[in-house]
Structure 1
């Protein structure tokens, strides 16, 4: 492979993977709680929707609405320091009670 072909390939890969990275720049469970606090409402809803789809098979009540409410409460109470969202998600799942459970 010549240097020109290598440059073109590098440029193409940069645009392909760069565009994917920009398009998928959304909240993930590895983000810090402070990032969640600064995220837009749409990004928060998107994360809650993905969590609801992932966890609803575990328990039907673990849906988008539950995660929106729980994450808001968890993130906005106290000092999140450098905690990641996955810790808040674990707390939400552990705190979930099905109707009638005590």
Structure 2
């Protein structure tokens, strides 16, 4: 009985790992963006919008989605990280304000 319980708990734990592991982070390579699922892109864009909206109302979820899509599809992003792409998106909004 106890062995079955342990097996079930391990299976449940392993079943939840891929969803958490698939979440995009700032440290991920930018080259992952085009291959990421739409759910992961929306999740990441939403987190960036919530984090940076206080800097400018323009920095919302829709802006980050659009900017990251455009940035990832232009040029070679192999060595860039998502953090660097986010910084570029933020600097574009700041440059517009000047």
| Aligned counterpart, 2:38 | 41
| Aligned counterpart, 1:79 | 76
Looking at secondary structure, tell me which structure has more helix per residue.
Answer: 2
Task: Confirm whether residue 57 of structure 1 aligns to residue 54 of structure 2.
Answer: yes
TM-score, normalisation: structure 1:
0.74
Structure 2 unaligned segments of length 5 or more: list them: 1-5
**Runs of 4+ more than 6 Å apart:** none
Give the alignment partner of residue 22 of structure 1, picking from 18, 25, 30: 18
| RMSD of Structure 2 on Structure 1 (CA) | 2.5
Aligned residues: 94
Structure 1 unaligned segments of length 5 or more: list them: 1-7
TM-score, normalisation: structure 2:
0.77
